[in-house]
Every structure is written in C-alpha cells, then in structure tokens.
Amino acid sequence: MENFIVSARKYRPTTFDSVVGQGSITATLKNAIKNNHLAQAYLFCGPRGVGKTTCARIFAKTINCQSLSTNIEPCNQCESCISFNESRSYNVHELDAASNNSVDDIRQLIDKVRIPPPLGKYSVYVIDEVHMLSQAAFNAFLKTLEEPPRHAIFILATTEKHKILPTILSRCQIYDFNRIQINDIVQYLAKISKNEGNDYDLDGLNIIAQKADGALRDALSIYDQIVSFSNGKVTYENVIQSLNVLDYEYYFRLTDAFLNENIQQAFIILDEILSKGFNIPSFIEGLSKHFRDLLMVKDKATIRLLDVGDNIRNKYLSQTAECSLEFLYESLDIISECELHLKERRNQRLFLEITLVKLCRITGKKKTPQLALENEVNTSQFNELPKSNTDVTLSTKSVQLTPPQGQQTNISVPSLKEMLNGIEQGSTYNPNTTTSTVSEPKNLRNRPFTNDQLLAAYERFVEMIKDTHLRFYTALHQTPKILGTNTLVIELLNQTILDDFQQELKNRMHNFLCDELSNDNIVIVAKLIEEGSQTDTPYTSEEKLKYLINKNTSIAQLKQQLNLDFE
C-alpha cells in the first residue's frame, strides 16, 4: 500500500510561477535575482498558510541554481537543484525559532554562518517564527544580521511582525504576504481535483475556500478531509455535511418568509436550524452576511464582492430582485441590533424570535395608507347610483369620472365618498365642469393635554427604547423643557449624538407622542446643551461628595466620625 502524502506537501509549489496569490512578491524576487540585487536579509510576514516558507525555499533554490531558465526559474537538473529536491542540500539551513529561541541557539547559528557553502554561491538561513526569539537572542543576532559574510543570506518568516524589534526590521527588506483570494483557492483546488481524479463542483470548493480564511494550506487540509469523507466526491452537499456548515437554502427560505410576512414559517425554519445543532450566534452572523450579500448583488458595481459559486450567485440575483433597498437597509439594522444585544439576553432564542417578527413586519409597514382607504370603498354603492350618461371607473390611485363630452375629472377616494353622500341627498354632478383635482383634506388630531401628560409620554418612550437604543436611552434619560403648550425641547451633550438622534429617532419619538396624546401638533426641538449649563454637574469624587453634603449635611458628620476617605 502506497504511503499517503497530504495535499499540502504533495502539491507544494516548487517554482515562483506555481506560487498561488502572491504575484507581486514573486515578481520582485525574480527581478532581484535577475539583476543580482540581493539583500543580506529578508523578512517574510503575513497570515499562516500563504506561502512564506515556500517562497523562502524557492528563493534559496533559485539563487544557487547553476543554469537558470530564461524566466528566472530553477532548472531542476544541476547538482544544486537535485540536492535541494532530495533534501540533502548544505546550502539551505532552516531554524525553528519557536523551539530554538535562546542566545545559545543564535550563537550556534552565527558560528555556522562563517562557513562558506560547499556548492553554489550562497548559504541561505531560513528562520521560521522569528518573533519567538528572546530579547537577548535578538540582540545577539543584530550584528551578524547587519553585516553577514558575503555568502550568507537570511530569510526571516513570521506571522506577527509587530513583535519584532525595530532594530531587526530596519536591517531587512520586508515583504507582506496577502491572504489568498477565494477565487484563487477554488481554481487551485479544481486543478488538484482533476489531477487526483476526484469529482467536484465549484460551489463545494467555494465553501472550502471560505472556511480556509485565505490560507491555502488550511484549504488543502480541509480538502483532504472532504475527500476521505465523501470517497472523492467533493460536492456542495458533502462539504456542508462534513464541515457542519449551514446551507444557503435556509437563508433564502427565511428571506422569502420575511418578504411574505409569514411569521409562522420563519419560526419553523428557525426550529429546523437549531435542531441541527447550529448555535444562535453563528446563525445570526450568517443571516447578517446573507443580507450583506443581497445588498452587494443589488448593484452591478458591487456584485464582484460576492464570494460564492455561480449557482448560488444566481439565487442571490433572483432573490435580490424581490427586495427593495429600504427592506435590505432596515433588515441589516435590525439584525445588527440583535447581534449587539444577544449576549445580554438570558433567553436568546426568544430574543431571536422577536427579531424574526420584526423582520417579517418590515414589508407590512411599507404599505401606504391610501391602499387601505381604497379597500374600504364599497363598490356596491355604484350599483345604487341613478342611471345616467356618466361612466364611473375605479383605479388603485384615483377615481376617474368621464362625462359624455370626453372631459375627465380625477377625484380622490375620500372625496368620492363625499360625492356619493351628496348624490344620495339629492345633489347632482355637473359633467360640464372643467377638469379639476380634489385633494384629500388632512384631519389633524388636536386633543388637549397637560405638560405632565406630555412628560409622562416622553418617559414611556425613553423606557421603550432601553433595550434597542441604549446610547439614546442614556442621553434622553433627563427631564426635557416644555415651551408653550406643545413644544418639547431636548438638550443633548454633543453634536454626534444630536445628529444621530435627528436622523434615527426623532420622527419615531414624534409619532409615538402624537399617538399617545392624540394630538398631531406636538413639536420636538433637539439642540446642544448651552455652554456653561453643565458646570453644576458633579463628576469627580470630591464634587459628588460636596453635592451630597449640600443635600444632606449629616453626611459630612458621618464621614468625620468614621474617618472615611475616597477610593
């Protein structure tokens, strides 16, 4: 039985051109070799599994190759390349700083640096996880790193550049490796699948690439796991089952339930998801990403930001056509509020179900009152009209009355009711009148209220937003001023909270107060606290003590008797 070699080792790049997703770095290194502009020290930094050590090995192999190709790649035929491929080269020395991080380890390295290479021009010293070196080891390494022998080149690799001393950084050429793009990982996995004879689909490979989070080595490890699980069939269904990833289909079904205001269906889908073992924070994070992706697909300029396979992309295109921008914006806002306060809740499932109810009600809130008025019109009244030469046509926006002469008169639905009442009372409609439009009169509520009732309604609103808008709750938790009989003056501490209040909450507060008091003449004025009006507010411990003593003089006596002091 042949020994199995993991894909991360079997398909490890051996040339610059085979390195995935680091084109700018490999091009720079090849040009440096071509022009013989080699530095004495390099620092390769970036996330795990993006090719730092691989590029260091290829670089070491290439600069010692005795017969470079025209595109600056090793020939794999000279003695230096052959010894490197067989892991017996004395030109390349690797040191793991995670386990060799003392001063003695660095001193042994310095002693080796003095010895010239037996074959080729350069001795290359690759120090992996260099940030693990101790402070004393770094200091012992400084001089040699700055002025090594002509044949010595150092390549330092790390995932945490910020932990390296600035004196080390100043002596190195720094190369920042990027996370590998999802599309690059998918193409590389597809190439491996063809070589191995494994069945695959791009949607399944895309899930693996997303799970790898930009690390090709992680993607290859996950790929091997899926191949073992599915007997070589790397399909979307097998991938999500093996990795326990929530299927996109659940999010599409939930969004359909939101659009159709189907709360019961949303609850049923949620129960299916939770019964499969997915936790609530992971679900709400996925739902947030789903609506983000719907928003990205909404515009051709941002559709490229969607990292999914073609089949799922088509589903996003289909569903986003049914969603308005206002629906997507408000949904993202509701989901973000849920994510923000989820950890504070003891009953997270109940809180999540309340969030789903809010999402289902978005579409209903957007329906205009005009449609409701039109539904109230009883078309049977038209059958009771006296026979005449006037044709009556009802549309969803207006009622058109067409006289015999061809003149048209557009009358809104509430005005139509008044006209019908007038006909029943014996009045007549003159078809010879000129075309006109009768607008609906606005009936404002004007029930009287007292200042105490206004303040009580204000306090109820503030308590109502405590769970969803905590920062506004804190800012509004004060007694506002009342000017005249209907003007509420709210003073806020800074311009930022004032602007956000004007944009996010002022209209909502106004509607609430008007509904509570049955009066549409209420006015809300929000402004900054006037300069100098905050000077009496106690902030420091001393100020708070003085404030309390002014309220109750016995506190000073208690402090003196018990010999109390500030913490």
What would the pLDDT profile of 179-230 be if each residue is shown by its tens digit? 999 889 999 999 999 998 999 888 889 999 988 888 999 999 999 999 998 8
Q: Which residues contact 269 (CB under 8 A, 6 or more apart)?
A: 250, 253, 254, 257
Confidence check: pLDDT of 296 > 80: yes
**Percentage of the chain with pLDDT > 70?**
82
Is 359 found in the same domain as 258? yes
Q: Higher-confidence residue: 343 or 386?
A: 343
User: Could you tell me the residue range of the domain that residue 456 belongs to?
Assistant: 451-528
Alpha-carbon distance of 482 to 490, in angstroms, equals 9
Confidence check: pLDDT of 146 > 70: yes
Q: Which of 383, 416, 443 is the last residue of a domain?
A: 443
Is 36 found in the same domain as 160? yes
Q: Per the domain annotation, does 193 fall within a domain?
A: yes
Quick one: average pLDDT of 233-257?
90
Phi, psi of 24 (to 5 degrees): -65, -35
Quick one: average pLDDT of 28-52?
92
Confidence check: pLDDT of 118 > 70: yes
Given this model, what pLDDT does residue 157 score?
93
Q: Per the domain annotation, does 499 fall within a domain?
A: yes
Highest mean predicted confidence (pLDDT) among 116-120, 253-257, 534-538: 253-257
Q: Which of 243, 277, 292 is the last residue of a domain?
A: 243
What is the number of structural domains in the chain?
5
**Cβ-based neighbour number of residue 330 at 10 Å:** 19
pTM (predicted TM-score): 0.60
Q: Per the domain annotation, does 24 fall within a domain?
A: yes
Query: Which residues are registered as beta bridge partners of 123?
Result: 152
Is 488 found in the same domain as 429? no
Output the domain CATH number for residue 203: 1.10.8.60
Is 170 found in the same domain as 82? yes
Q: Per the domain annotation, does 560 fall within a domain?
A: no
Alpha-carbon distance of 533 to 545, in angstroms, equals 20
Is 221 found in the same domain as 186? yes
Is 127 found in the same domain as 19? yes
Is 41 found in the same domain as 162? yes
Output the domain CATH number for residue 298: 1.20.272.10
Q: Higher-confidence residue: 333 or 402?
A: 333
Alpha-carbon distance of 3 to 45, in angstroms, equals 33
Is 100 found in the same domain as 25? yes
Q: Which among 381, 462, 375 is positioned nearest to 419, based on CA atoms?
A: 381
Quick one: average pLDDT of 480-508?
85
Given this model, what pLDDT does residue 67 score?
86
Given this model, what pLDDT does residue 2 score?
61
Q: Per the domain annotation, does 562 fall within a domain?
A: no
Given this model, what pLDDT does residue 26 score?
92
Given this model, what pLDDT does residue 226 score?
92
Contact, 337 vs 472, CB < 8 A? no
Token code pair at residue 281: 């924070």
Contact, 189 vs 224, CB < 8 A? no
Given this model, what pLDDT does residue 564 score?
74
Given this model, what pLDDT does residue 540 score?
61
Q: Per the domain annotation, does 315 fall within a domain?
A: yes
Is 214 found in the same domain as 109? no
Q: Which long-range contacts (CB under 8 A, 24 or more apart) does 552-555 make?
A: none
77-96 residue pLDDT tens: 888 889 888 888 888 898 89
Quick one: average pLDDT of 19-25?
91
| Single-letter amino acid code for the residue at 486 | N
- Gyration radius (Cα) of the chain, Å: 37
Q: Which residues contact 179 (CB under 8 A, 6 or more apart)?
A: 46, 47, 50, 213, 214, 215
Alpha-carbon distance of 151 to 257, in angstroms, equals 69
Is 211 found in the same domain as 346? no
Confidence check: pLDDT of 155 > 80: yes
What letter does residue 48 receive in the DSSP assignment?
Answer: T
Distance, CA of 347 to chain centre: 25
Is 24 found in the same domain as 162? yes
* Average pLDDT value for the chain: 81
Weakest mean pLDDT among 135-144, 387-396, 484-493, 502-511: 387-396
Q: Per the domain annotation, does 554 fall within a domain?
A: no
Output the domain CATH number for residue 37: 3.40.50.300
Is 199 found in the same domain as 161? no
Q: Per the domain annotation, does 102 fall within a domain?
A: yes
Q: Which of 227, 243, 259 is the last residue of a domain?
A: 243
